């Protein structure tokens, strides 16, 4: 039986204490009569066209066919031809998925919406998962959704009951946010390397540093993030009123940035154990030398997102000495945690390669922290962010000729915030204020797409 202790007053933890709850589906169906629930699944065409990926997606489609409490399932489709969009519709029909919508981002309908948003200055020119999710959220809100969930399309061990558990706190118990946690195990090995070997030891290192200096403001955010069992899981559910006010990172920092937004804006949140069985989805490759790929790139985005948030909201002052000292503490914590994971694996009869884990910390994640620190402190980073800031604020243009320092003096703290701000989407609340007709235009495109891909 799972441990059922509650250890954080701002995060309710829903433990799986029994094999099943037959009342859960009935309650979800009951609440769906007056509280519309929508699921969003961002995906690439390769998720269902590739021979390797197609069985995974077919299992998801089969499981989703019985999720009758969902009023809509939005498939945010990127990098797909019209023929591939029709292929997706055929697959969903074959498995009996009801009330689906194919959000074909490369089609003319949604392309026109993206263009309108970009023309209004919302910076949605570059395709990617962040932009895809942003549009899906807008569609769900336009359709009157009150509970909105998000899961990835590459979950190899997906079961509908996992989705039921994830939706339950928000749909039935009126929480504003819920986030999944589970054990990442495959072939008798534990995964979740970025969470275990980078994020957790980094957060613990930050907590040690700021406990010594008694900086309570920083500690509150760090403690909040440490309160989640799996900060980097991609399976989440939002209350619509909260979602309208949310910003989302457009890089690999999206999960940690979402939790930081929850810390700032939500009054009630939950983490949900959605599976007692090992949970498996696509694993990112490791690249020791290429900072633009795999876990290296993911780690850099996560660390810069975290440190940027501490700089902007909590007033953290970073310096080269701070980054070096933090890295030293991180290495000490990571060494302790590796021994704990090795012992836990031995206890459970799992395979654990201590040397490989230590190598990951020393050759990849240590350098991730150092590089992220150098990036945040580098003059080119500051100048690039400064240039973007000034170009977006016409009132500062007259001061350009006076030089960088004069403009920074004129802008004060506002330039500091923009320089360290994570690349992110705007909130739909702001979009609808600036473009009041956009919701109606999205509805028109949705109705057209429904007729097209059936």
Q: Quick one: average pLDDT of 370-385?
A: 71
CA distance 126 to 453: 25
Q: How many Cβ atoms sit within 10 Å of the Cβ of residue 5? A: 7
Tell me whether residue 253 is in a domain.
no
3-state secondary structure of 368: helix
For residue 139, give the nearest of 451, 429, 423, 440 by alpha carbon. Answer: 440
Tell me whether residue 265 is in a domain.
no
Rg for the chain, CA atoms, rounded: 22
3-state secondary structure of 150: strand
Strand 269-273 with 177-181, pairing: parallel
pLDDT of residue 3: 74
- ∠ CA 400-404-405, nearest 5°, is 120
For the record, the structure tokens of 109 come out as 């309908």
Tell me whether residue 107 is in a domain.
no
Q: Quick one: average pLDDT of 257-262?
A: 95
Phi then psi for residue 11, to 5 deg, are -130, 115
pLDDT of residue 399: 46
Q: How confident is the model at residue 22 (pLDDT cuts 50, 70, 90)?
A: confident
For the record, the structure tokens of 406 come out as 């004069």
pLDDT of residue 348: 94
Residues 203/260, Cβ–Cβ less than 8 Å: no
Residues 385/407, Cβ–Cβ less than 8 Å: no
pLDDT of residue 5: 83
Beta strands in 187-262 (DSSP E): 189-190, 236-239
What region, left, alpha or beta, does residue 335 occupy, with left being phi > 0 and alpha being psi -120 to 50 degrees? Answer: alpha
pLDDT of residue 128: 83
* DSSP code of residue 285: P
CA distance 77 to 73: 12
CA distance 250 to 128: 8
pLDDT of residue 1: 46
Whether residue 416 is predicted with pLDDT greater than 60 in this model: the reply is: no
Per-position DSSP letters for 45-103, written without gaps between them = THHHHSTTTHHHHHHHHHHHTT-TT-SEEEEEEES--HHHHHHHHHHHHHTT--SEEEE
Domain range spanning residue 399?
Answer: 388-420
Whether residue 151 is predicted with pLDDT greater than 90 in this model: the reply is: yes
Tell me whether residue 410 is in a domain.
yes
* DSSP code of residue 76: E
CA distance 420 to 255: 18
Tell me whether residue 167 is in a domain.
no
pLDDT tens-place string over residues 169-189? 999 999 999 999 998 888 899
For the record, the structure tokens of 169 come out as 């706190």
Strand 147-150 with 236-239, pairing: antiparallel
Cβ-proximal residues to 152 (8 Å cutoff; 6+ apart), any chain: 41, 42, 43, 234, 235, 281
> Which CA distances in Å does 359 have to 184, 341, 353, 366?
20, 15, 10, 10
Q: Quick one: average pLDDT of 4-26?
A: 89
Q: Share the mean pLDDT of the chain.
A: 87
Q: Quick one: average pLDDT of 296-316?
A: 88
> Which CA distances in Å does 202 have to 112, 188, 327, 421?
42, 26, 8, 20
Beta-bridge partner residues of 236: 150, 179
pLDDT of residue 405: 46
Number of domains in the chain: 1
For residue 345, give the nearest of 180, 201, 185 by alpha carbon. Answer: 185
Q: Which residue has the tokens 């009801």?
A: 98
What pTM value is reported for the model?
A: 0.89
pLDDT tens-place string over residues 41-84? 999 999 999 999 999 999 999 999 999 999 999 999 999 999 99
For residue 38, give the nearest of 118, 100, 131 by alpha carbon. Answer: 100
Tell me whether residue 398 is in a domain.
yes
pLDDT of residue 410: 46
CA distance 448 to 348: 53
Terminal CA-CA length for the chain: 45
Helix/strand/coil percent split, the chain, to 5? 55, 10, 30
pLDDT tens-place string over residues 84-126? 999 999 999 999 998 999 999 999 999 999 999 989 988 777 7
Residues 28/147, Cβ–Cβ less than 8 Å: no
Tell me whether residue 448 is in a domain.
no
Tell me whether residue 101 is in a domain.
no
CA distance 255 to 180: 12
């Amino acid at each position: 039986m799972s441990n059922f202790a509650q250890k954080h007053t701002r995060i309710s933890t829903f433990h799986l204490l029994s094999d099943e709850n037959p009342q859960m589906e009935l309650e979800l169906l009951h609440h769906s009569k007056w509280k519309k629930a929508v699921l969003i699944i961002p995906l690439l065409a390769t998720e269902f066209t590739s021979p390797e990926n197609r069985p995974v997606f077919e299992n998801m489609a089969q499981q989703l066919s019985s999720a009758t409490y969902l009023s809509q399932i939005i498939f945010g489709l990127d990098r797909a031809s019209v023929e591939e969009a029709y292929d997706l519709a055929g697959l969903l029909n074959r498995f009996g998925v009801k009330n689906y919508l194919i959000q074909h981002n490369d089609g003319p309908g949604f392309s026109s919406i993206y263009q309108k948003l970009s023309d209004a200055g919302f910076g949605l020119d570059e395709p990617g998962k962040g932009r895809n999710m942003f549009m899906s959220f807008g569609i769900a809100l336009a359709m009157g959704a009150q509970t909105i969930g998000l899961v990835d399309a590459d979950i190899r061990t997906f079961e509908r009951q996992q989705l039921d558990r994830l939706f339950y706190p928000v749909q039935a118990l009126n929480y504003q946010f819920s986030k999944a946690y589970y054990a990442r195990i495959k072939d008798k090995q534990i995964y979740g390397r970025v969470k275990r070997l980078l994020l957790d030891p980094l957060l613990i290192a930050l907590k040690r540093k700021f406990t010594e200096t008694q900086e309570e403001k920083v500690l509150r955010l760090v403690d909040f993030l440490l309160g989640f069992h799996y900060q980097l899981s991609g399976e989440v559910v939002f209350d619509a009123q909260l979602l309208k006010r949310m910003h989302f990172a457009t890089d690999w920092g999206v999960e940690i940035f979402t939790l930081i937004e929850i810390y700032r804006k939500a009054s009630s949140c939950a983490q949900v154990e959605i599976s007692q069985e090992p949970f498996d989805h696509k694993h990112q490759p490791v690249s020791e030398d290429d900072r633009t790929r795999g876990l290296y790139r993911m780690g850099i985005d996560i660390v810069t997102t975290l440190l940027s948030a501490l700089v902007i909201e909590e007033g953290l002052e970073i310096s080269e000495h701070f980054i070096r000292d933090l890295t030293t503490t991180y290495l000490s914590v990571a060494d302790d945690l590796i021994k704990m994971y090795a012992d836990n694996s031995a206890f459970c009869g799992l395979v654990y390669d201590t040397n490989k884990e230590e190598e990951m910390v020393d050759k990849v994640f240590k350098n991730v922290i150092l590089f992220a620190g150098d990036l945040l402190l580098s003059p080119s980073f500051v100048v690039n962010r400064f240039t973007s800031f000034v170009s977006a604020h016409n009132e500062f243009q007259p001061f350009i000729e006076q030089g960088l320092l004069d403009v920074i003096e004129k802008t004060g703290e506002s330039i500091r915030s923009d320089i360290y701000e994570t690349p992110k989407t705007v909130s739909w609340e702001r979009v609808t204020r600036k473009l009041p007709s956009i919701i109606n235009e999205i509805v028109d495109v949705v109705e057209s797409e429904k007729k097209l891909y059936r």
